[in-house]
């Protein structure tokens, strides 16, 4: 059974909508852990649209499971990551105008910057994950970059317009997961997963962890975060 890392960004989105003090993503993270989450994920964006440095600082000392920091590769964010020292840094492509991360990293571009960042994080003892599309080319390139983990982008599967398209995307995910595992990489997956589509992804046995945010937080707004997390864990099981 894959572990669940709960992404609490959108608790901060609600707080930032009013530039207020609440709801607090730190409290949400603690409640998610109490409900059984195996990890907490946050994305510190350059534009600080949701998670703030204050959140990260407090999460670092309060998260009892493991902290996964999603991030781009700007100097400022790397400096913060090196200071915070999360258990895992997941490198993602980040565009200012996007609503959410739009796809996996393009591992044909900016390789020298990626290598530099991976080395800096490794020197600090931080494991590195690359968020990539589920194709063999990306997996092989990630492997060459000497990272410990890949996070497979499940967004295309999640947004499939037909059962046939979803099945095709699942096959791609399964193939990519098998190759990554064969090459010695830990396999995480995430993006767009919800209470309806998560089960089939869990059947891919190489996937060790799912990173899920929006659907859990959306449900948490209506039924509470403990119930929302527990229901997701039940489905994963």
Active site residues: 43, 70, 191
26 vs 129, beta carbon nearer ligand PXP:
129
Residues 94/45, Cβ–Cβ less than 8 Å: yes
Smallest distance from the beta carbon of 42 to ligand PXP, in angstroms?
9
* Closest distance to ligand PXP from the beta carbon of 159 (Å): 10
For the bound state, the minimum distance from the C-beta of residue 158 to ligand PXP, rounded and expressed in Å, comes to 7
Nearer to ligand PXP, 134 or 190 (CB): 190
- In whole angstroms, what is the distance from residue 40 CA to residue 4 CA? 8
Interacting residues toward ligand PXP by CB under 6 A: 7, 9, 43, 70, 90, 92, 100-101, 131, 151, 190-193, 211-215
Percent of the chain as helix, strand, coil, to the nearest 5: 45, 15, 35
User: 115-149: buried (b, 16+ CB within 10 Å) or exposed (e) per residue?
Assistant: eebbebbeeeebbbbbbbbbbeebbebbbebebeb
Helix (H) or strand (E) holding 17: helix 9-17
Write down the least CB distance from residue 46 to ligand PXP, Å.
Answer: 14
């Amino acid at each position: 059974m894959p572990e669940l890392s709960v992404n609490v960004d959108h608790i901060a989105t609600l707080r930032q909508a009013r530039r207020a003090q609440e709801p607090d993503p730190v409290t949400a993270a603690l409640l998610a852990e109490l409900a059984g989450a195996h990890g907490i994920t946050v994305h510190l964006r350059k534009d600080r649209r949701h998670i703030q440095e204050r959140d990260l600082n407090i999460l670092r000392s309060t998260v009892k499971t493991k902290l996964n920091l999603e991030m781009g590769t700007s100097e400022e964010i790397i400096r913060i990551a090196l200071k915070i020292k999360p258990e895992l840094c997941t490198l993602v492509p980040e565009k200012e105008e996007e609503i959410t991360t739009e796809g996996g990293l393009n591992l044909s571009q900016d390789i020298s910057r990626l290598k530099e960042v991976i080395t800096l994080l490794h020197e600090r003892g931080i494991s590195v994950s690359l968020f990539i599309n589920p194709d063999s080319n990306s997996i092989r390139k990630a492997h060459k970059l000497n990272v410990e983990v890949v996070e497979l982008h499940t967004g295309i599967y999640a947004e499939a317009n037909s059962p046939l398209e979803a099945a095709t995307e699942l096959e791609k995910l399964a193939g990519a997961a098998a190759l990554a595992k064969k090459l010695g990489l830990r396999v995480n997956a995430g993006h767009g997963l919800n209470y309806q589509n998560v089960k089939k992804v869990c059947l891919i046995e190489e996937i060790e962890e799912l990173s899920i945010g929006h659907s859990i937080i959306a449900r948490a707004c209506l039924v509470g975060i403990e119930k929302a997390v527990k229901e997701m864990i039940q489905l994963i099981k």
